[in-house]
Amino acid sequence: MTTQETFEEGKVLLIDKPLHWTSFDVVRKIRNLIKIKKVGHAGTLDPLATGLLIVCTGKFTKKINQFMAQEKEYTGQITLGAVTPTYDLESEPRDFKSIDGITPKLIAEAAQNFIGEILQTPPIHSAIKQKGKPVYLQARKGIDVIIEPRKISIKSFEITAIEMPVVSFKVVCSTGTYIRSLANDFGAALGCGGHLSELRRTRIGNFKAEDAMSIVKFEASLENEK
């Protein structure tokens, strides 16, 4: 069986998505490398996020929904004292507020309030579709976008370090959770605003980022098989 035929039969690839790449950039690159069209990913990572991206090829693309439904784990950083329209650093911080009086105790208490089943409103700058079009296209034009809150589950929200104004965290959550929205809501709960300044997906179900390979290593592995 050729390498191409192997990928058509189906493989699950664990890729460590590079910074500034979209999830579809990864899919497109893999399609070009393995020379088959049937390639898809199990859960989008924003361009400014890194970490685990599950990519399925060939017949295994049928497993995508199964993988997408699994629990996710992320690590990252929230910068307090300002918000951004996209809830991350894809847009410029604004509405600066003082972080004086924001203590580690207040930060820990705020994090605890997000644990459990909660309603979360996704960012208007996201790929969620309304009338068949991603809402971010409307948002970029300055058109008001209304997205209904969705029920999600935060299993744990651990504060791992505080170096003001930066708060480091680890979150375990259900599918459909927007960590950007969590960062924005967390800042609002503290009364000073906040935005996501770093994000890495470390786990999907039992699949871990430490077992993922870079695009460069994946390409090299194909060269070795020739």
Q: Known catalytic residues? A: 46
- Which residue, among 185, 160, 158, has the nearest Cα to 172 in the 3D structure? 158
The alpha carbon dihedral of 204, 206, 209, 215 has a sign of: negative
Please name the residues in contact with 143: beta carbons below 8 A apart, sequence gap of 6 or more: none
In whole angstroms, give the CA distance from residue 42 to residue 64. 5
14: left (phi over 0), alpha (psi -120 to 50) or beta: beta
- Which residue, among 166, 163, 226, has the nearest Cα to 194 in the 3D structure? 166
Residue 49 Cα to chain centre, angstroms: 6
161, 111 contact by CB (below 8 A): no
